[in-house]
Structure 1
Amino acid sequence: MGFATGLSGLKAASTDLQATGNNIANANTVGFKKSRTEFGDIFASSLGGVARTQPGSGVRVTEVAQQFSQGSIDATENSLDLAISGNGFFTLADDINAPQPTAFTRNGAFQLDKDGNVINDRGQFLMAFAPNGKTAADGFSQGVFGPLTIDTSQGLPEATQNVNTQLNLDSSRALPATAPFDPTDATSYNNTTSVTIFDSQGNAHVASTFFVKTAAPNEWDLFTFIDGFGVTAGTAASAGPPPVAAVASVINDGGTTPGTPNLPGAPVTMSFTSSGLLDFVGAAGSTAVDFVDIDLSVIDPNINVDPLSFDNDYLGSTQFSTPFSVNNLNQDGLPAGNLTGIDVSDEGVVFARFSNGGSKPLGQVALARFPSDQGLAKLGDTIWAESATSGQPIFGAAGSNNFGSVQSAALESSNVDLSAQLVRLIIAQQAFQANSQTISTENTITQTILNI
């Protein structure tokens, strides 16, 4: 039995040497997971039971167990390099139309193919959940998989929907020296503001608002011009010099409508309380505290675009005896833009960033985890597949349901500790030599017996 025992030790030590050598060889392989050789003793038994004097029959390798501990994360300069910090695997598919991922990896070194699909170096597609709307807040269709694609075409323009204006009108100002109001005569109004807004084709328009103090206490008239044309009464379908506009609604903070708004030549009137807070006065003379916005619908019949409808929000505007000031003036429209970069959030949401300052979600990277990571089948190139011992994959998004977070411009290094593996290599080598000595000793004993 000595030869068999020694031979089993040699085989086990040889396997350990191979596993340790493979770990050392892949010390610099992105996403690689080291293996550990596990042993079990061989114990002979008889029909009558195990004898107390049975010394054993050697050793065997019970498993070369994969170790899925976290590797260190190293920064890169490629935004499509992704790393998972915590649980989970990136999901891959060989077929762009695959209904579900078929392979899994921790190697996040991705790139674009000629069609803008995100792939790995084997040409497998990175799978993602599609966005439900234009923003990440609209959520993603988890459970519905598709290849992550980076659209390199122009970023679509977005028509202005909201203009936010927060200002202070100086209550100590005198009435304009000239009447009636004329936008070309600076003496016929007290103050003015301008903001660039955009239509559905991304064309820029300048919206100018003029403020004229009236003889009525705490009241100001408000005149709006788009590209130098006054906003006049009418409907969006009216003919005439552009832009023809209609005031669609005036909404207060409580959601009430204080009456039909005035239009030039009866301008919209802003009214302030004695404490300097903004009221609104409609054509019917009714008032409401905390005036919020005017909804304008504007059309230019010379340009084939959708009517430009936006809310002009004046919430927070005041009338104090301090100089005129604009504390906030912004709008949410965007012109067309070119793709300038890719951003990836910790939740794995991939955003396209455009030169117009806008961004849009392209998808959320789909992750997978398993009841038993060690049961995964190796496919090579740091890629694994589901097996009977791993259990079925559980899919989800980064940062939820026990999944780790995703880091962009970073890669997970091999989890091999080179120093520890070199020590392990020495131990495996000594084990191999010791077992060869067992065989040599058994051979000497056998030769002694034959020579008797």
Structure 2
Amino acid sequence: MAFQHGLSGLNAASKNLDVIGNNIANSNTTGFKSSRAEFADMVAASMGAGGGSSYGIGVEVAAVAQQFSQGNVTVTGNNLDVAINGNGFFKVQQPDGSAAYTRAGNFKLDKTGDLVTNGGAQVMGFRVDPTTGLSTSEPQPLSFPTGAPIQAKQTGAIKATLNLDARAKLAAGDATTTPPIPATPRSTYGTSINVYDTQGVAVPVNMYFEKTAVANTWQVYDTLDTTAAPRGTITFDGDGKYVSSAPSPLTVNVDPSVANPNNPPAPWNVTIDLSTATQFGSKFAVADLSQDGYASGDLTSINISNDGMVMASYSNGVTRAEAQVALANFRNPQGLLAVGGNNWVESFDSGPAVMGKPGDGNFGALRSGALEDSNVDLTAELVNMMTAQRAYQANAQTIKTQDQVMSTLVNLR
């Protein structure tokens, strides 16, 4: 027996206690992944000697392996907290511009509108075009307009869901009947909606409907001026269901100068969709009236949905998808290098990052309003600590015994 064996055992047990202590210290760290010390024996042998001539000379720590098992998901209710349930890492851009990866989804919105981690790294994601809905193919730092309002959107279409009374008399009336049928005021069957010009100024658009002498046909006007021509007609079948409009689509020309006298934009046409209108024997009623424009608005809140879509709400009532959180995965996650601050960086052993969207392929799903807890099992770590302590004591005892043997040899007379 040599001091070498006991000394190597003490070093290995000490490193094991360091790993266990680090696990216990981070048992409440969001997204933390525990590690374990893995040991290997050390053997001395002469070149060309048979197996019987080799002997052990102690132990060494072969590796400190990270354990990427799933941690518990705890609901927090915070709209910027996100947990990954399954494979993957959030990609972040550190302040020095380098890429890192984390499982901690406790994000914040800083004063400049960037979505960041507690360490100031920017969260990466796929930007979404507000008009087309398409996302970018390369992840970019997610940033939102907190310093300036979003640009207004000019209205391009109106959609109306309404019922025109099938019992309505001819709008022109009939003086030949007894008693004569009076004319129906154009305003009897009318509604109005605000549309928006390119500057975000609301302009009212009116729609009035008059029953014609042609069965199941109504004329559509945008003014109460009796000399004005109709914008078109809509026709229903015998069951009161919409058949067609002429022209198709119906359009109305909007003059923004009526509401925006200060150098307004040019007049433009807005289409009117009446395909969901009906002609039933009940009172005139408007069930739904919508348009696709909006005024400028300031950012009021951000929410991250379960599919990673970042939904931004604005003061003008608009809520739209601005981006989608990106996930990264690796062929060998245990090859990642921990750099602190809940971050890892890729290495030769981990392989390059593969980017994707939550729920696609082998990427995990997201849980919004929740965080992934540390995967440290405190009970197991405490038991491991006792085992490591016993190993340390036993190796210390071998050194003590070796010291006693050496003392006996030195004291021989």
Measured at CA, do residues 442 and 54 of structure 1 come closer, stay the same or move farther in structure 2, by a change above 3 Å? Answer: farther
- Paired with 2:111 and 2:185, the residues of 1 have a C-alpha distance of 61
Question: Is the CA contact 1:179–1:188 (under 8 Å) kept in the aligned structure 2?
Answer: no
* Inter-CA distance 282–416: structure 2 relative to 1 (3 Å threshold): closer
When residues 84 and 231 of structure 1 are mapped into structure 2, their CA distance, relative to the original with a 3 A threshold, is farther
Amino acid of the structure 2 residue aligned with 1:23: N
Rounded to whole Å, the distance in 2 between the matches of 1:10 and 1:47 is 29
Q: Compared with structure 1, are the counterparts of its residues 322 and 20 closer, same or farther at alpha carbon in structure 2 (3 Å cutoff)?
A: same
Q: In the alignment, residue 346 of structure 1 is paired with which amino acid?
A: N
1:149 to 120, 137, 143: 143
Letter in 1 for 2:72: S
| Partner SS, residue 348 of structure 2 | coil
Q: For residues 250-300 of structure 1, what are the alpha-carbon distances to aligned partners after superposition, in whole Å with 9 as ceiling and x for unaligned?
A: xxxxxxxxxxxxxx33562333333433344759xxxxxxxx631223223
- Cα contact 2:256–2:266 (8 A) shared by 1: no
Name 2:242's counterpart in structure 1: 278
Counterpart position of 1:336: 296
What is the distance in 2 between the residues matched to 1:271 and 1:440? 104
Cross-structure match for 1:441: 401
Q: Given residue 209 of structure 2, which amino acid in structure 1 is its aligned partner? A: F
Kept in 2: contact 1:157–1:202 (CA 8 A): yes
CA spacing shift, 1:321–1:451, aligned 2, 3 Å: same
The 3-state SS of whatever aligns with 1:4 is helix
Which whole-Å CA distance do the structure 1 matches of 2:388 and 2:184 have between them?
92
Give aligned-pair identity as a percent. 40
Contact in 1 for aligned 2:170/2:184 (Cα 8 Å): no
SS at match of 1:43: strand
Q: What's the offset of the Cα at 1:420?
A: 1.2
Q: 2:222 aligns to what SS in structure 1?
A: strand
Letter in 1 for 2:286: V
The residue type paired with residue 74 of structure 2 is D
Residue 159 of structure 1: which of 147, 151, 154 is its match? 154
Q: 2:197 aligns with which of 178, 199, 207?
A: 199
Match of 1:309? 269
Q: Distance in 1 between matches of 2:253 and 2:185?
A: 29
Report the 3-state secondary structure (helix = DSSP H, G, I; strand = E; otherwise coil) of the residue aligned with 1:80.
Answer: coil
Letter in 2 for 1:355: S
Q: Distance in 2 between matches of 1:282 and 1:366?
A: 47
Which residue pairs with 1:424 in the alignment?
384
**Residue of structure 1 aligned with 2:360, choices 400, 410, 433:** 400
**What is the aligned partner in structure 2 of residue 87 from structure 1?**
87
Count of aligned pairs:
400
One-letter amino acid of the counterpart of residue 144, structure 2:
I
TM-score relative to the length of structure 2? 0.86
Per-residue deviation at 1:174?
A: 2.2
Within the candidate set 368, 371, 375, 1:415 is matched to: 375
The C-alpha deviation readout for 1:351-397, integer Å capped at 9, x for no partner, is 22112221233333232222211111221222222222221222222
- 1:243 aligns to what? none
Q: Could you tell me how far 1:51 is from its partner in structure 2?
A: 4.0
| Conservation of the 8 A alpha-carbon contact between 1:177 and 1:188 | no
Q: For 1:98-126, what per-residue CA distance to the aligned partner results, in whole angstroms no more than 9, with x for missing partners? A: 4xx52222222333333222233333222
- How far the C-alpha of 1:48 sits from its partner, in A, is 4.3
Aligned residue runs from structure 1 range 106-121, under 5 A: 106-121=103-118
Kindly indicate whether residue 135 of structure 2 is the aligned counterpart of residue 175 of structure 1: no
User: Where does 1:286-297 land on structure 2 (aligned, <5 Å)?
Assistant: 293-297=249-253
Contact in 2 for aligned 1:75/1:409 (Cα 8 Å): yes
Q: What SS is found at the alignment partner of 1:134? A: coil
The 2-side partners of 1:446 and 1:435 are apart by 17
Amino acid at match of 1:163: I
Q: Does 1:300 align with 2:256?
A: yes
Contact map agreement 1:28 1:413 (CA 8 A) in 2: yes
Task: Please give the alpha-carbon distance, in whole angstroms, between the structure 1 residues aligned to 2:297 and 2:174.
Answer: 44
Does the aligned pair in 2 maintain the 1:24–1:421 contact within 8 Å? Answer: yes
Q: For 1:57 and 1:30, how far apart are their aligned partners in 2?
A: 41
Residues in 2 aligned to 1:231 and 1:147: alpha-carbon distance in whole angstroms: 57
Change (3 A) 1:413 1:267: closer
Partner of 1:134: 130
Q: Secondary structure at the match of 1:157?
A: coil
Measure, in 2, the Cα distance between the counterparts of 1:69 and 1:55.
37
The answer to whether 1:125 aligns with 2:122 is yes
In structure 1, what is the Cα distance between the partners aligned to 2:400 and 2:339?
A: 40
CA drift at 1:26: 1.1
Task: Name whichever of 327-336 and 366-375 sits farther off.
Answer: 327-336
Residue 314 of structure 2 corresponds to 354
The one-letter amino acid paired with 1:269 is T
Structural RMSD (CA): 2.9
Which stretch of the first structure deviates more once superposed, 387-396 or 104-113? 104-113
TM-score for the superposition, normalised by structure 1:
0.79
Q: 2:327 aligned with 1:370, yes or no?
A: no
User: For the structure 1 residues 320 and 115, does the alpha-carbon distance in structure 2 shift closer, same or farther, using more than 3 Å as the test?
Assistant: closer
Partner of residue 75, structure 1:
75
User: How far 1:12 moved relative to its partner?
Assistant: 0.9
Q: Distance in 1 between matches of 2:32 and 2:25?
A: 10
Cα distance in structure 2, aligned partners of 1:168 and 1:55: 95
Cα distance change, pair 445–344 in 1 and its aligned pair in 2 (3 A): same
**2:178 is matched with which residue?**
none
Match of 1:33 in 2: 33
Confirm or deny: 8 A CA contact 1:178 1:188 kept in the other structure.
no
Q: Secondary structure at the match of 2:234?
A: strand
Aligned partner of 1:125: which letter?
A: Q
